[in-house]
Structures are given as C-alpha cells and as structure tokens.
A and B are shown apart, each in its own frame.
Chain A
Amino acid sequence: MSVIGKTADAAPTGAREYLTFRLDQEEYGIDILKVQEIRGYEPPTRIANAPDFIKGVVNLRGTIVPIVDMRIKFNCAQADYNSFTVVIILNLRNRVVGIVVDSVSDVMELTPESIRSAPDIESAIDNSCILGLGSVGERMLILLDIEKLMSSVDMGLVTANE
C-alpha cells in the first residue's frame, strides 16, 4: 500500500485521483485510495440507540460493516432507498465503513493548482474535514478528508475516548 501511495504522490504533476459522488445537488470528491469497493444498498441491521445517520451494520463477506447515510448526515432534503442507491465501502486505517450516497459520478484527476482552499462556511460538518474546492470546468467539487470525517467523534463510529 505504502509503495502505491508514494508513487501517486511522486507523480510529476502531483495530481491525485478522486472518486466523485452526488448528494442531492452537491458533488463531492474523496481520495480514491480510500475506496475499497462500491456496491448496491441492502437493508442493514438496525442498531439501537445509534444516531439516525448510522443505518446499521451489514455483512460484507464475513465482516460486519457499519453503514452511514451521508445524505442524512449532510441534512439532504430526502434520503430514499431504491435500486440506484449506492454504498461506497471505505477502508480507513484498518476500519471498514460504508457510506450511502445518491450516486457515484466518476473518477477525476485533480492537480494541486485546480484545488482552492474552502472559505469558512457554515455547514453540517466540521470545516477542517473539507480539504478544498476543486473546479473541473463548470463543476465544483467539494473535496472531503473522509478519513478525518469518519473518525471524528460526532460521527458516532468510534467511542469518544478512542
């Protein structure tokens, strides 16, 4: 893993690849190296007393994986589950987590020059979890530090003292 990571960093342009997905009208990008796989949504097993954006846990080939609905976490207007609903399985520091999104768009390469720092804005998540804003033509991508976001205490995925 580390070898791959290094070569990506050392690419002459310094460009990195991002997987982009949509939540309602917004488009987000996350580091593709954190993505393990993409699958359809299957109803998870509910966990009592968990925050509403944690839908529960599913069986991913023998591993119990928690499922977070990003649409609820980001206060999207609606969060329907149908055959097009997609779950991105992330592999973060030996933890496997699934996130529910409206749709996955594509994989994009962004150079550091095309990334602007995010202005201080009021949003549903901590500003420090936003790496910046990437502009691709007319589109604006919100680049997330998904690892930081998922390990933050208010995601409820880890116990506070960890």
Chain B
Amino acid sequence: MAETYQEGSGAGADFDLSQFYQIFFEEAGENLDQMEQMLLNLDLSSANDEELNGIFRCAHSIKGGSATFGFSDVAELTHQMESLLDRLRRHELQPIPQMVDVLLESADASRSLLARHQAGGQGEAVSTTSLVRRISDLAAGLVPGDAASAVVAPPPPAPAPVAAAPAPAPKVSAPVVPGQPRQLEIQIGPLDRPEQADAIKELFRDIPGLGSIRDVPGSQANTRVFAVETTSTNDDLLDLFAFHVSKEQVLIRDAAAPGDAAAADADDEPVVAVDTSGGEAPYGFFNGAPGAPHGEAAAAAHAPVAQAPKAAPKASAEPKVAMQAQMESTTIRVDVKKVDQLINLVGELVITQAMLAQNSRGLDAGAYQQLLAGLADLDRNTRDLQESVMSIRMIPMSIVFSRFPRMLRDLANKLGKKVELVTLGEATELDKGLVEKITDPLTHLVRNSCDHGIEMPADRLAKGKSEHGTITLSASHQGGSIVIEVRDDGRGLSREKILSKAQERGIEVSDQMSDADVWQLIFAPGFSTADEVTDVSGRGVGMDVVKRNIAALNGSVEIDSAEGYGMKVSVRLPLTLAIMDGMSVGVGEEVYILPLSSVVESFQVNADDVSTVAQGSQLVKVRDEYMPVIALEKIFQVPRFDLNKSSNIMVVVEADGSRVALLVDELLGQHQVVVKNLESNYRKVPNVSGATILGDGTVALILDTGGLVRRARH
C-alpha cells in the first residue's frame, strides 16, 4: 500500500501518490487476469494478431505502471514478457507451448510480486531470475533443451545476489521513528555524470520540511556522498531521488551506525536492518532485487547498493499490516451497473412515494394519524436513501488531482522550468462517470499551462516574478455544479498573437472583439499560439477537443487572462450526469424539460415585440439584443386542443455562446430530474437530449438546448 511509501514524508501532498497505487494495483490485477485468460485461449497453431496484440498490451500496461511507481522487479519481468510477446506479434517467432507456460508462470510471479508491494513490501519476494532467463532464451529463439547454446542469449542476470534471498540473520540499525530527525549518509553512484547527484541537493532546497543536506568529500571521483538530516523514511527519499538517479545507485546509511553499511559492503550480504528480537520470521529485504536490471546486476558490486536502502522502514511494519487489513475490509468493489440499478430503483421509489403523498393529502389527520405518520417517515427515509445512494457514485476530486504532481514535475524537468502545483478543494465530490471523463481535458489544460503559460526561470526573474511558476488547481461547488479552475501565473494569452494567428488561419476577426471573444478563438480546431511545436504541446490539437469533451458533459469552459500575469481556465460541470436541475415548461398539453443551467431568463412577450424576417423566421428584441425565436409548438408539432390558449412566454436559453428565445405556454416549475437515456430502447430524437420521469410517472422529454441553438443559426 501506498502508505508504506508515504509515512513521515516531509514532502506532503506533493507526493501523495496513494490514490494512484490503489488504482494501479487494481488495474494491474485486471490486466493480469485478462492476459491469463487470453493466453489460455490462445490457439498456438493459428494465433491471430488481435489476440497477440491484446496480450502484449496487457503486459505493456503492467510494465508501464510498475515502472512509474518504482516496482522495478515487476517492471523488469513484464519487460521481458513484453519483448517476447513483441517478437511473437511481429511473427518473428512461432508461438510454442513453452512460451505460454513461461508467460503464465510469469503472470503468476508478477501477481505475487504485486501483492507483496500492495501489502507494503512484506514477505519474501518471488525469485524471477530463472523466469527472466527462460523468457529471454525463448525470445532469442532458443527452445529450452538446447541449453548449451544459451550462451549466445543476452547475458543472463547474475543469480548470486538473488540466491541469497531470505537473509538468514538480519541485524538491525536504529529503528525509524517518524517525525524524529535522523542523521544519514547517502552515497550516490557510481555515476557517469556525477553532476546528476547535485540535483538531489536541489530537492532538499526545493521541498520544505525535507531536511538539510551537505557535501561530504567522496572517496571516488564518480560517486558523491552527502550527509543528510531528515525526518523522511528511506523509501520516501528513494522515491524522491528516483527523479534524478536510479534507485540502484543510491545507498542510504545511518550515519550513527556506519558499521552496518561497511559490513554490508564487506561480506556482500546486503543486510542493513537488524531485528534484535531475533526470533521473528525474516522479512524479505529484497524488494528491488529480483528484477534489478540484469545488465547491471552482473556487476556484483552493485548488488548491496540496490538492496540495502529498502530495509530501514521495516521496523514500523507491524502497525501498517493492521491498517492494511482494516482497509481491505472497509471497501468493496462493485460493478457500476449495480449501483446504477440501485439508483434507478430508488428513483422509482421516490416516484411511488410522491404518489402516495399526493393521494393521502386529503385524508383526515385525526382518523388516519398512524398512516400519515408512517407516510411522513417514508418521505424522510426515501429522501435520505436517495441521497446516500447518489453518494455512492460520488468520489472526491483528489483522485483526479493526485495524478498531476508527478506529471507536472516530469514535465517541468523536461522543459527546464520550475513549477509549483497548488491544489485546493480536493475533497469536492463529483460523479464517478464525470471524474473519468474530466481527467483527460484537465491533463491537457495543466500541460498547456506548464508548457505555454509558465515562462523559463530566467525570463520570470527578468520580469520581476519569482523563479517558480505556480499552477493552481482548484475545485469547488457552486450551486448545482462543480467549478474546476486551472490557474497559472505565467505569461498569459496575447491578444495580438491570437488575432494574428487567427487571421493567418483565415478566421474572421476584428480588433474590436471583446477579450472574451478573442480567448474563445483558441478553441478553434488546429489553433495553437506556440511558436514551435514541442513534444509536449503546440500542435494545436487540444483546446478544441477539451471544449468538445466538456460540452459533451453538459459543461462549459471559460478563459480569463491578463497578458504577463497569467491565465485562468474555469471548467463548469454538472455534479452528476444522472441528475440535472430542470425547468419544466408546458406547451399545449405536453411538458418539456429545459436544463436549468442553460436558462438565462424568461418573460411574458407581447405580439408587438416579435418581428418577422423574410421566410417567416421570427426575432425578438430583448433589451439591446435581437434573438431568434423558436416556437416549441411548431418544432414539436404539438397538437392544440384548446384554441383559446397560446404561447406567450419566452424562455431565453444559452448554449455554445449564443442565445435563442423559446416560445412556450407556461412555466411549470423547477425540480431535479433523473436523466434517462432515450436511445437505449429508441433512437436519437432531434432536439431532445434525453427523457425523465415526472412525479406522476409519465415521461417528459429533455430538450437539447445546444441543438436548438444550432438549429436557429442555420
């Protein structure tokens, strides 16, 4: 579990990858299951590309994830699997049963390695050395059997350090006491470029609360030694250092007990942690070991370096086990379909309850006292039930936000920029379906801010700003919607640049356009203000996709910017896709629902205010603006039974930045409606986005305001 890697971290929220770990373990588990299934179904004589590609993808996903999180043993094993599978899918090799066997075994091994990481690194790591060798033999085209020729295969990893696996007699250094500063000696290297190690020093400077660091004259030219005082655990330090140097090159020693490290160096038995109570079963100290990149592993001298640092946090292992057990029992994974079914049923219950309430209204309170009390209880319970059921689907924004610190860090390093990320309102809850769909657009916005917004440190200093750019991500509830803001204090949008780019691309612009209109231009497909295309962004694909994705969620995007001071992108989304605030309007005998979010105003209209333009389309003047009128009666061909009644109320709705006035008979009220899909049993209906069930059990159609606005334009 992530907590293992987190505890006592001075880095704070910046490194809260805990949400991440859980997701990774779940995904990896699913991928492994899927891979196993596909392997078992694989027809060796006529394996089709799709199957092989599917298996390859599974291995690839696991490899990618585990490498990101530093589970190098899993990454290494899956990397080997991937190489073999890659050759298979390219038809460079013919699949044989041995391959399936070894792949299945590897999947099992990965599973157990992952389980071990998930449990916080407890227990003994499975040795993957022989598996790795067998896979690489197979990948090299060797059929096991002619083992003699195995020498030509890529150099197999030196098995020695792994064979030593269950270290028989662990000794212990001072236990890690979280919060208590510890004196450590950290040796980095050997490195090709020792300057890399200097980046470590910057870490200590940049991250408040991490501790202090100073140089210790090193004995060798290609290694650096630092004396460090910190409250963080060794694992945390290693995770941090991993941004600059590989974990295998870092050796952390307790400065108070240098003897241990010396011993470890001396007898090639990579043990640092010591257990004075002795009798307990030895922990596996070899998290990183089995999968250590085999090219380097051959150099046996590196081995202790790779393994030693893992040991220290084990002293506090016991409470973590307890916590882990507790966590497993407090959450369950449930199919979203089941939750949706539950929501549906509760929706039905609410309707039934409303019906009962309506029918009991006329009852004599004296004679039916008990019945009425029961109905009142039912009312309250139904509402509570509905609320709790809806909350099942709600998850906090921190799930989304937690993906960004790491991404931004890597990105900033790549671009040579200094960026700080501030997140606000992580506890704001959002529907699960929305969270999944908002992640990509947000990622894009954050990347944009980092790449285009934040200037290089030197430029920032020249402009009198602090060297570090700040990107702020915030989420908050505003009425029935959630507002997510991505704000940076970078260079902001340049009005001139956007206008000239737009002209280049043949978009009609004028200098009189308002700022808001100019900013909207960057949502045009293919529009980019970047001077050069980088691999991060600048190809102009993006903002239009962001806008489209968000519009598809019934949301909107707004930009606010001041050149030289930064920009702010606000994304406004409904809290959930399943429930919407609606305004019901009556036309003839029928009821239609308008999304309240798009309703601007409504007013009674006199026949004189409506003017007709050629071909009969109508315009109404609202204050200074003329807008097209859409008579719902006409476009929905509503039959008119009572000829005395006519539509004389206008509801102004806004979508895609423009407004139309809808002509209706009456306004019936505002209420929350449960959005139902019309297309699951029927087909798409023009100008209708869905349906809902009213209090009396009948169906009402929800109007697609975007569609209506587009209709009015053409």
Contact = CB atoms under 8 A, between A and B. Distances in A.
B350 to A, nearest CB: 10
A59 B693 contact: yes
B682 interface: yes
A156 to B, nearest CB: 8
A45 B698 CA distance: 7
A159 B685 CA distance: 10
Given A48-B637, A62-B347, A157 B683 contact: yes
Interface residues of B, number: 28
A86 B155 CA distance: 77
Given A48-B637, A59-B698, A59-B699, A157 B682 contact: yes
Contact of A45 (B344, B681, B701): B701
Contacts of B257: none
Interface in B655-699: 676-678, 680-688, 691, 693, 697-699
A64 B677 contact: yes
Given A62-B345, A64-B676, A45 B685 contact: no
Contacts of A45: 590, 691, 698-701
How extensive is the interface on chain A, given as a class?
20 to 34
B636 interface: yes
A57 B691 contact: yes
B689 to A, nearest CB: 13
A95 B681 contact: yes
A45 B685 CA distance: 13
A136 interface: no
A97 B678 CA distance: 12
A45 to B, nearest CB: 4
B613 interface: no
Nearest to B685: A47
A86 B110 CA distance: 59
Nearest to A48: B636
Interface in A82-102: 95-97
B348 interface: yes
A46 B344 contact: no
A61 interface: yes
A6 to B, nearest CB: 22
Nearest to B632: A48
B148 interface: no
Contacts of B700: 45
Interface in B181-213: none
Contact of B682 (A48, A57, A61, A62): A57
Given A45-B700, A62-B693, A64-B699, A57 B590 contact: no
Given A48-B636, A48-B637, A65 B683 contact: no
Interface in A61-79: 61-66
Contact of A63 (B681, B685, B697): B681
A62 B188 CA distance: 64
A46 B637 CA distance: 10
Contacts of B676: 62-64
B635 interface: yes
A57 B348 contact: no
A157 B684 CA distance: 9
Among B344, B681, B701, which residue has the most Cβ atoms of chain A within 10 A?
B681
A64 B691 contact: yes
A49 interface: yes
Contacts of B348: 61-62
Given A59-B699, A62-B693, A64-B691, A49 B680 contact: no
Given A48-B685, A49-B686, A59 B678 contact: no
A44 B699 contact: yes
Given A48-B635, A62-B344, A62-B348, A57 B678 contact: yes
A58 interface: yes
Contact of B681 (A56, A64, A162): A64
Contacts of B344: 62-63
Contacts of A59: 693, 697-699
A65 B681 contact: yes
Nearest to A43: B698
Contacts of B677: 64
A158 interface: yes
Contacts of A158: 683
Interface in A123-162: 156-159, 162
Contacts of A49: 637, 685-686
Among A49, A58, A62, A156, which residue has the most Cβ atoms of chain B within 10 A?
A62
6 contacts: A45-B691, A47-B682, A48-B636, A48-B687, A57-B691, A64-B691
Given A48-B638, A58-B698, A62-B348, 14 more contacts: A45-B699, A46-B590, A48-B635, A49-B637, A50-B685, A58-B699, A59-B698, A61-B348, A62-B344, A63-B344, A63-B676, A64-B699, A156-B683, A157-B683
Give 3 nearest A-B pairs by CB, closest first.
Answer: A48-B636, A45-B699, A62-B344
